[in-house]
Structure 1
């Protein structure tokens, strides 16, 4: 192109020659349109590498930015439809490769690129972007070890966030069935491409917000291996924040052992593979049963040992106990000793009482004793006369009768007499047996007249 360009002097001469010619005059709009057509025809498909600067997302959904390098800058625009298919979040400082066409914007007399698609410019740029986002989220404490929660020992329900058609979910279900059959709820999501990050974040937040019997005790976020571009959705900030704020413990199983995403740092536990995530989620049922049986056997052995040792201690204690004669011998001796001392004490007491009586009787004068005996005889005679007057047979001498029943008990009422039937009347000079007749009958049976003899 430099060879076809005329020298500066020739251009000046041509300009002088053209002064005053009759060529048509173009308006600004006309020249702008001509330039627009010329640029679009010459640069209908281009790929430009540069660093994003001045990124802005309009309310309409269109994207506006500039691409720059060390020496130049070009404006760019991306319409809403194409912007929705970007596999990452554009931001200032990210080096990209933009594919589209060049055009002009007559309103500012500038040219720009209308971007159809954009991609990160190489793995190095992706890693730089990843490191930048990691530093930001780490500064907020989303990766702190203090935020990590312990996984439940035996979850009743496990929520799995993954693609419903890939090999990942089959591997997880198969491994869970082998180790410990558990209820699994799958939340189907895209695990790659546009919209995958939003779906994964919505699934984790959805599980976390669930209530009732279907609420999982554990969440597994899983995806198979792939390139850094394939796994980029799990590096998005929206996914990291959803995992970090989940109220349910989360296992991140994204990619293979060598793959690492920001989701791994935010999760409570990172698993190297989806199969390993299933192994971390549940224990082995057979091992649990074996452990229970072992614990039961140990408990039984411990109980037997305790009983055996108790028997041994009881026998040893019984052997150390003294015999019955040893225990009761001193007590028997004490009883015998107390008996002897009691007899001796009573003998001494009786001797002392006799001595006291002798001393008292010797001190009494005969006259006083005689008078006391006379007074006692007089009181005794009075008491005897009173006793004779109260003797039950005394009234019999005056015509009274003592009524007794067969057993010799005294009958003192008509009721008792009717009940007794046979009575004994005791007079002063003897007894007469009688019979009580029933009421309304004659007191005594009348004698029957003598019957004439038939002979």
Structure 2
């Protein structure tokens, strides 16, 4: 029977066995999936250990761990790529979809998905055209957010006391700025040293700008009134740190007016659009920052002269107006002549009036003194004594009046005592009270149920029993005498209740 002939009993091909068996001469043992993936991985990595790919970034994503995941594509193919955190931190630009780059790394496989990918060690923009395309795309994005809007621009302070400078401490830029400031108007300068190109330059510039903005002025370092971000000229690659999004956002968010002086006059960065003022050169930024001190002094001197001339001219005009008014006014003697005449007339009338008044007073005194003769006074005194004697108070009249009043008072006292409601209690009577009210009838006593009997020496409580039947007395008991009721002192009123008829 041939190997391919069907089995006579089953009718199936003998080669389609249910269980795998090793056959004689077979030198290809079966491989596991992991073994095959490992062999492919080693083959690809050995063969393509160093490659450079040119392609357009697509599907860019930055993981929370800091690793970068993307795909590089051209017109006909696409390959996945990954860049670990260490390499991503060394990138001189921010990758974006649509940017054409040249990636350097090695090919490897990812067994978990049966895919191959490139592990990127270094990534650069594919020529100046790609760099300009990335710049234009970022510019449009930030402009759409309003970071370059003209209404965000703030005026620069006229004469800043402190100027903060963000630049390299070793370059010619800081020397040019200091020299220009010293020539124009000496001002305190705070330098925040940073890298102005290369790896980490953008982060340092952004951190410096935000640091100046966060100063409150209460510490040992004064807060700047103006900030200058400066760098010398260079190629677009050299100035790229000032096109980074982190720097542009830091400049736009700065709470201090800021001047961007990056590169030469023909160089333009995104930092220039976000700043409040763009200077063509760092030296021009220093000229924008402060006025010329000599010009200020000359202007102050001129203003002082103008002020002095204005004051002198005003005084002269006021003196001239005063002289004109003085010539129009009459002489002092002419002004005082009527008043002097009125004063003389009043003095003359006063002398005549005093003499007339004195004569009238003498006449009135003479008339009054004639009625004050001694004989008349004695007669008036005698008549007054007589009237006093007639109206004098005799003691017997007062004594009789007091006796009559005493009798009336005694009568009223006896009447009051006879009307005292407690006086019958002294003769053995009792007052029946219920709830603070006087009980006058048997119906009121039955309705109350419990009454108080008030005697002359105290009170007792009693319960009302029966329905008005007469009390039964024992044989031989004197009915003329009232039934005894146990008396309870006031202090024991709240104790055991006694029966009224017990």
Same fold (TM over 0.5): yes
1:271 correspondence with 2:271: no
Deviation (angstroms), 1:244: 1.4
What is the distance in 1 between the residues matched to 2:67 and 2:250? 26
Comparing 128-137 and 219-228, the one that deviates more: 128-137
Partner of residue 229, structure 2: 221
1:91 to 79, 93, 96: 96
What is the distance in 2 between the residues matched to 1:80 and 1:324? 103
Name the SS of the counterpart of 2:205 in structure 1: helix
Partner of residue 28, structure 2: 24
Deviations 1:217-252 (A, max 9, x none): 111111111222221221222112211111111111
Name the SS of the counterpart of 1:154 in structure 2: coil
Partner of residue 53, structure 1: 58
Deviations 1:299-354 (A, max 9, x none): 11111111111222222223333456776788899999x99xx9xxx9xxxxxxxx
Partner of residue 291, structure 1: 299
1:314 correspondence with 2:318: no
2:162 to 157, 164, 175: 157
1:280 correspondence with 2:288: yes
Structure 1 unaligned regions, length at least 5: 1-19, 347-375, 380-455
What is the distance in 2 between the residues matched to 1:145 and 1:250? 14
**Aligned-pair Cα RMSD in Å:** 3.4
Partner of residue 81, structure 2: 76
Partner of residue 189, structure 1: 194
Partner of residue 174, structure 2: 169
Partner of residue 201, structure 1: 206
What is the distance in 2 between the residues matched to 1:190 and 1:26? 59
| Higher RCO (C-alpha 8 Å, min separation 6) | 1
What does 1:361-372 align with in structure 2 at a 5 Å threshold?
none
Deviation (angstroms), 1:110: 2.6
Name the SS of the counterpart of 1:184 in structure 2: strand
1:251 correspondence with 2:256: no
Name the SS of the counterpart of 1:128 in structure 2: helix
Deviation (angstroms), 1:257: 1.0
Partner of residue 110, structure 2: 105
What is the distance in 2 between the residues matched to 1:124 and 1:322? 96
Deviations 1:167-216 (A, max 9, x none): 11111111111111111111111111222111111111111111326211
Structure 2 unaligned regions, length at least 5: 1-23, 353-369, 374-502
What is the distance in 1 between the residues matched to 2:191 and 2:236? 25
What is the distance in 1 between the residues matched to 2:52 and 2:65? 25
What is the distance in 2 between the residues matched to 1:47 and 1:60? 25
Partner of residue 5, structure 1: none
Q: TM-score, normalised by structure 2?
A: 0.59
What does 1:108-147 align with in structure 2 at a 5 Å threshold?
108-147=113-152
Name the SS of the counterpart of 2:141 in structure 1: helix
What is the distance in 1 between the residues matched to 2:146 and 2:119? 39
What is the distance in 2 between the residues matched to 1:190 and 1:39? 40
What is the distance in 1 between the residues matched to 2:333 and 2:260? 81
Name the SS of the counterpart of 1:233 in structure 2: helix
What is the distance in 1 between the residues matched to 2:30 and 2:241? 52
What is the distance in 1 between the residues matched to 2:241 and 2:39? 43
Partner of residue 405, structure 1: none
Partner of residue 185, structure 2: 180
Deviations 1:8-35 (A, max 9, x none): xxxxxxxxxxxx9745346355554444
Comparing 35-44 and 134-143, the one that deviates more: 35-44
Partner of residue 39, structure 1: 44
What is the distance in 2 between the residues matched to 1:139 and 1:110? 39
What is the distance in 2 between the residues matched to 1:242 and 1:330? 87
What is the distance in 2 between the residues matched to 1:188 and 1:77? 34
